[in-house]
């Protein structure tokens, strides 16, 4: 079973991999993604948010 902690850790690992701010992401993830210019990071985060 996928837990909230697992999902959070997975998303945080993506943020770390791309050198992105965890604080900014968790403050408002939709706004963060809307303003994100790195298409690879954006797609990866969107997948992790939907699949996990």
Q: pLDDT per residue over 11-45, tens digit each?
A: 999 999 999 999 999 999 999 999 999 999 999 99
Confidence tier at 47 by pLDDT (50, 70, 90): very high
Where b means 16+ CB within 10 Å and e means fewer, 22-48 reads eeebeeeeeebeeebeeeebbebbeeb
């Amino acid at each position: 079973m996928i837990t909230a902690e697992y999902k959070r850790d997975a998303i945080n690992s993506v943020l770390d991999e791309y050198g992105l701010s965890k604080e900014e992401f968790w403050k408002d993830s939709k706004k963060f993604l809307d303003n994100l210019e790195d298409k690879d990071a954006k797609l990866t985060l969107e997948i992790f948010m939907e699949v996990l």
